């Protein structure tokens, strides 16, 4: 057995030397594509008190109710659960691909038996013979020497595919958080709309009652009373539509969260002190590089770049090694005893001579895919820049619009208080006061609608800057 071991060791050394020599890399040198963008956002109406998102510390959503809502969503949302399983699947696949270059080593045991009848040769008289052969392969290995870096390029591509999937999973989580917070604020706004619509309906019914009395006394025409009936119908329809919208929005919110929603989440109104970071003018556009969709696009580009190396390596000879060693005998009792050992070592070189243009086609396809990923990466960055620019402009414009509508509402409240004193002095009727109250409710709804849009635009900033460190 000693000579066999020495020969096996010699073969192993030969393999190691071959592996050490396999240092060729046919991948193109990777360079991040150039993308022409302004160095920073400089929207002239951006608030001076905004923050540079690169310096943003702590969670983006600091409100306790929003943190509770986000926690429930991350724990229960089925889309996130499915994304996590797919990412795990991608990780397992990468592990399989990463081990493809290692030799497969097997241990096998075989028995062969054959019987030959008598007289099967013309020149020699033979008797019946039965053969038995026992073989044990202690080592049976076969692998490809990655001299041109083909397998290494495929492993590199597989790794970048996995990292791209991980970035995509994070992108999904960020998008989902934006959706669930927006849906939550939408439902809070719906409740404000329902309260306003309900109060308007009460006022309109009181006006209808007063006008009915005036009509009965002969003080109003039938046409005026019919207008009052139409106003009641309109107020009832508005309330029903608002209730329907609220029910649809709470259904969407429950679907996004994936779990029952505690009542404590809803003991809050839209005029709560919701605080979100503002994006400061002058923030470097390089902040986009932390967005997971851009990260995923770059990993896809790196994977395409690596596959060019694998396609190029297909033009060169492939070197594979097969090694076997074990014991072979005609009697089972003599297995693994002295004199029964055998070994074999078979190097094979395969040189592509004619493949009908398949290798050239695969290389052309890999190069085209690489160009596609370059364009996709540049497009993703430009789209991200536009989204941040829109968020920057939206925050500023809606904030100023909200300040204006809030002033109008404050003015309307003061005018209503004055109207109450005028009514108490007998200078205007209760009917006039109810009309002024409906006007005040209209101003309140306009203010809340603008505030809701401003809050949604602020939540949008969470996704366009790539989330926060808490995600």
* Residue listed under structure tokens 């071991």: 5
**% the chain with pLDDT above 90:** 38
Helices (H), 258-357: 292-313
* Residue listed under structure tokens 């080593």: 105
Q: Tokens in use for 93?
A: 């696949």
**% the chain with pLDDT above 70:** 84
Contact 92, 313 (CB under 8 A): no
Contact 318, 353 (CB under 8 A): no
Query: Which residues make Cβ contacts (< 8 Å) with residue 380, sequence separation at least 6?
Result: 293, 294, 297
Element (H, E) at 341: strand 341-350
Query: Which residues make Cβ contacts (< 8 Å) with residue 15, sequence separation at least 6?
Result: 145, 321, 323
Question: Is the pLDDT confidence value at 343 over 80?
Answer: no
Mean pLDDT of 316-338: 73
Query: pLDDT digits over 201-257, tens only?
Result: 999 999 999 988 888 888 778 888 898 899 999 999 999 999 999 999 999 999 999
Element (H, E) at 137: strand 129-145
What pLDDT, on the 0 to 100 scale, is given for residue 362? 87
Question: Is the pLDDT confidence value at 460 over 60?
Answer: yes
Mean pLDDT of 156-172: 90
Question: Is the pLDDT confidence value at 281 over 70?
Answer: no
Question: What whole-number distance in Å separates Cα of residue 157 and Cα of residue 67?
Answer: 37
CA dihedral 164, 166, 172, 175 (to 10 degrees): -80
Kindly list the structural domains of the chain, giving each domain's residue range(s) and its CATH number in brackets, ordered by start.
1-25+103-115+128-145+317-351 (2.20.200.10), 32-77+146-316+360-464 (1.20.1600.10)
The more confidently predicted of residues 140 and 10 is 140
The more confidently predicted of residues 452 and 37 is 452
The more confidently predicted of residues 105 and 415 is 415
Mean pLDDT of 3-13: 46
Question: What whole-number distance in Å separates Cα of residue 368 and Cα of residue 256?
Answer: 39
């Amino acid at each position: 057995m000693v000579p066999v071991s020495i020969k096996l060791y010699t073969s192993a050394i030969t393999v190691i030397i071959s592996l050490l020599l396999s240092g060729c890399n046919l991948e193109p040198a990777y360079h991040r594509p150039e993308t022409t963008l302004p160095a920073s956002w400089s929207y002239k109406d951006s608030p001076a008190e905004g923050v540079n998102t690169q310096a943003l510390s702590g969670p983006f959503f600091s409100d306790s109710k929003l943190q509770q809502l986000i926690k429930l969503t991350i724990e229960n949302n089925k889309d996130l659960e499915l994304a996590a399983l797919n990412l795990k699947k991608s990780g397992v696949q990468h592990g399989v691909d990463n081990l493809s270059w290692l030799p497969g080593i097997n241990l096998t045991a075989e028995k062969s038996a054959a019987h030959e009848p008598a007289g099967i040769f013309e020149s020699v008289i033979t008797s019946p013979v039965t053969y038995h052969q026992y073989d044990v392969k202690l080592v049976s290995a076969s692998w490809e020497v990655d001299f041109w870096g083909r397998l290494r390029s495929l492993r590199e591509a597989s790794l970048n595919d996995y990292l791209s999937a991980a970035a995509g999973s994070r992108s999904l989580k960020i998008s989902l958080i934006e959706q669930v917070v927006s849906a939550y604020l939408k439902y809070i706004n719906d409740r404000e709309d329902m309260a306003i619509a309900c109060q308007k309906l009460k006022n309109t019914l009181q006006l209808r009652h007063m006008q009915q009395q005036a009509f009965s006394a002969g003080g109003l025409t039938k046409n005026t009373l019919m207008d009052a009936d139409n106003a009641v119908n309109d107020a009832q329809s508005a309330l029903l539509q608002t209730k329907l919208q609220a029910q649809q929005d709470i259904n969407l919110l429950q679907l996004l969260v994936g779990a029952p929603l505690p009542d404590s989440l809803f003991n809050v109104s839209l005029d709560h002190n919701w605080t979100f970071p503002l994006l400061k003018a002058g923030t470097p556009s390089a902040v986009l590089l932390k967005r997971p969709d851009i990260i995923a696009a770059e990993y896809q580009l790196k994977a395409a770049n690596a596959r060019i190396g694998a396609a190029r390596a297909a033009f060169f000879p492939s070197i594979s090694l097969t090694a076997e060693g074990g014991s072979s005998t005609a009697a089972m009792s003599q297995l693994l005893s002295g004199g029964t050992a055998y070994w074999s070592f078979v190097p094979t070189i395969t040189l592509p001579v004619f493949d009908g243009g398949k290798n050239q086609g695969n290389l052309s396809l890999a190069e085209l895919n690489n160009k596609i990923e370059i364009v996709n990466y540049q497009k993703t960055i430009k789209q991200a820049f536009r989204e941040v620019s829109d968020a920057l402009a939206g925050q500023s414009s809606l904030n100023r619009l909200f300040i204006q509508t809030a002033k109008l509402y404050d003015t309307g409240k003061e005018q209503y208080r004055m109207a109450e004193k005028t009514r108490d002095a007998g200078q205007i009727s209760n009917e006039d006061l109810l009309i002024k109250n409906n006007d005040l409710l209209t101003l309140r709804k306009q203010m809340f609608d603008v505030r809701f849009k401003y809050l949604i635009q602020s939540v949008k900033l969470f996704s366009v800057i790539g989330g926060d460190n808490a995600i």
